[in-house]
Amino acid sequence: MNAQTAEQFIEALGKLEESRDVEAIVGLYAEGSETGNIIAPEKYEGRDGARQFWTIYRETFGEVKSTFRNRIITDDRAALEWTTEGTSANGATVKYDGVSILEIEGNQITRFRAYFNAGDLGDQVSGKGVKDKGEGEKVKG
């Protein structure tokens, strides 16, 4: 993978988050790809699987924006560290950090996995609150 492909992924994710355009991100995937994260135990396979995965991701949120802090990129892999902020579909405040790992052949994603604190995100999406990192207490969202 090269830096250009990583930037295309970040740009396509931005389009998905801003305008719900799933096709830009799906177009980066290889037909035999696998997509998933820590809370999706099944593998989403191929472009259709990527489309389903990213549609579910976007439907989880009302407003959402991811900001990328670190990009570690080699010829065929990337690790992207991010913070995602916004609101859940029911309006609760959401903010969580994670890392996405992309495996690439040519210029296409062959495998995508995202890792984050699933319990914390689940509490936020359900409206139980956002953990205040300074105090360790929950703040209602």
pLDDT value of residue 138: 41
* Residue 47: inside a domain: yes
CB 122 within 8 A of CB 108: no
Which residue is associated with the tokens 């916004």? 86
Burial status of residue 121 (CB atoms within 10 A of its CB: 0-12, 13-18, 19 or more): buried
User: Which CATH number characterizes residue 19's domain?
Assistant: 3.10.450.50
Torsion over CA: 98, 104, 107, 108 (sign): negative
Domains: count for the chain: 1
pLDDT of res. 135: 43
106: in domain: yes
**What residues make up the domain containing 106?**
3-83+100-116
63, 97 Cβ separation under 8 angstroms: no
Q: Does the residue 137 lie in any domain?
A: no
Which residues of the chain register pLDDT less than 50? 1, 133-141
Q: How many residues does the chain have?
A: 141
Domain annotation covers residue 132: no
